[in-house]
């Protein structure tokens, strides 16, 4: 009996030892997992410099030459008409990001309360030399419609041209892009650039959505007193562009100044009312005396 039990135990151990190597490998990996090789998440060298290096105050190369959406040759400086300019750099065959940038720009233009072609202009430059004037014209029609200004074809210009010309414009404003051979697409940042009437960089607005208030204040600021209402210019004393949040934020000192101004105006109005009442009272008191002293 003991021999049979011992034999059964021996057979079980033999079976276990024959299966253990195969079954122990996953268990050992679970208890002591092999280090997973790190994925190389670094961008290719050509794409590592993509982004924006802000160049506030930098001027456009006004002699850069392009073709408008209607095929007419044009110098960049010919598109400066004494109004602020919204500059966007895109390529028309972009599968997603450029369309979102232009859609956000069109929406911001429509909701800003300023009039395209009267208060400001817009220029869109393609940095893909393969983009055609036909596609540029199609994009212009679509985005003007989205901006609620289908008639403003002279105010929002879509440009195509040689690679070196678009590169000059991009370099001048710090817009860094690169072509990725693997995907056959351009890598580029998402932003629009606000220019002064003489073509100098005033402000960068980032992302694919541009708040109407931010867009309006940026254009008023770039307009150097030529754009917007008196209230817009007053708002600029209360709002400052915050480079951290990349938005126009409430400016405490501006509100303090505005409050002090309101108090001074109120005091002046109150004193004016008191002086006027006192003057009327003096005139009313002087009138009877004049009548009594008059000859009968």
Torsion of CA 186, 192, 193, 195, to 10 degrees: 120
**Residue 224 banded pLDDT, cuts 50, 70, 90:** confident
**CA–CA separation, 37 vs 43, rounded Å?**
18
pLDDT per position as a tens digit, 42-62: 666 667 789 999 999 999 999
Predicted confidence (pLDDT) per residue in 124-154, tens digit? 999 999 999 999 999 999 999 999 999 999 9
Per mean pLDDT, which range of 178-182, 229-233, 280-284 is the poorest?
229-233
**Residue range 65-78: mean pLDDT, rounded:** 97
Per-residue pLDDT, averaged over 219-239, amounts to: 65
What is the structure's pLDDT at 259?
47
Q: Stretch 29-49: mean pLDDT, rounded?
A: 57
Query: Does position 18 have pLDDT exceeding 90, yes or no?
Result: no
Look at the domain 46-223 and name its fold: Glutaredoxin (3.40.30)
Mean pLDDT of 62-89: 97
The pLDDT of residue 49 is 86
pTM score, whole prediction: 0.68
**Range ranked top by mean pLDDT from 86-100, 212-226, 279-293:** 86-100
| pLDDT over 70 (residue 30) | no
Per-residue confidence (pLDDT) for residue 272, from 0 to 100: 64
Mean per-residue pLDDT, 28-45: 52
Domain locations along the chain: 46-223
Higher pLDDT, 184 or 44: 184
pLDDT of the residue at 22 = 40
Q: For position 89, what pLDDT does the model report? A: 98
Q: What is the DSSP string of the chain?
A: -HHHHHHHHHHHHHHHHHHHHHHHHHHHHHHSPPPPPPP--PPPGGGTT-EE---TTPBP-TT-EEE-TTS-EEEGGGG--SS-EEEEEE-TT-SSHHHHHHHHHHHHHHHSSSPBTTTBEEEEEE--TT--HHHHHHHHHHHHHHTT-TT-TTTEEEEB--HHHHHHHHHHHTEE-EEETTTTEEE---EEEEE-TTSBEEEEEESS---HHHHHHHHHHHTTTSSS-HHHHHHTTTEEEETTTTEEEE-HHHHHHHHHHHHHHHHHHHHHHHHHHHHHHHHHHHHHHHHHTS--
Highest mean pLDDT among 10-19, 133-142, 269-278: 133-142
Task: Give the chain's mean pLDDT.
Answer: 79
């Amino acid at each position: 009996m003991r021999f049979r039990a011992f034999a059964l135990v021996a057979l079980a151990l033999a079976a276990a030892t024959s299966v253990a190597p195969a079954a122990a490998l996953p268990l050992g990996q679970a208890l002591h997992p092999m280090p997973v090789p790190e994925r190389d998440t670094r961008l290719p060298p050509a794409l590592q410099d993509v982004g924006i290096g802000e160049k506030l105050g930098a001027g456009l190369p006004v002699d850069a030459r392009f073709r408008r959406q209607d095929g007419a040759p044009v110098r960049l400086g010919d598109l400066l008409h004494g109004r602020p300019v919204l500059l966007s750099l895109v390529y028309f065959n972009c599968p997603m990001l450029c369309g979102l940038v232009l859609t956000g720009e069109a929406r911001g233009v429509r909701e800003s309360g300023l009039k395209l072609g009267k208060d400001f202009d817009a220029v869109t430059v393609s940095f893909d030399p393969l983009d055609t004037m036909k596609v540029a014209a199609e994009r212009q029609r679509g985005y003007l419609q989205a901006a609620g200004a289908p008639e403003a074809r002279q105010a929002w210009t879509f440009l195509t041209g040689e690679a070196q010309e678009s590169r000059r414009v991009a370099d001048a404003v710090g817009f860094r892009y690169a072509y990725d051979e693997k995907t056959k697409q351009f890598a580029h940042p998402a932003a629009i650039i606000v220019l002064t009437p003489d073509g100098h960089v005033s402000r960068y607005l980032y992302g694919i959505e541009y708040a109407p208030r931010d867009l309006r204040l940026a254009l008023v600021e770039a307009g150097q007193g030529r754009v917007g209402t008196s209230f817009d210019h007053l708002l600029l004393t209360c709002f400052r562009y915050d480079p951290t949040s990349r938005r126009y934020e409430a400016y405490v000192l501006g509100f303090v100044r505005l409050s002090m101004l309101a108090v001074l105006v109120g005091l002046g109005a109150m004193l004016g009312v008191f002086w006027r009442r006192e003057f009327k009272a003096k005139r009313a008191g002087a009138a009877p005396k004049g009548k009594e002293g008059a000859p009968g």
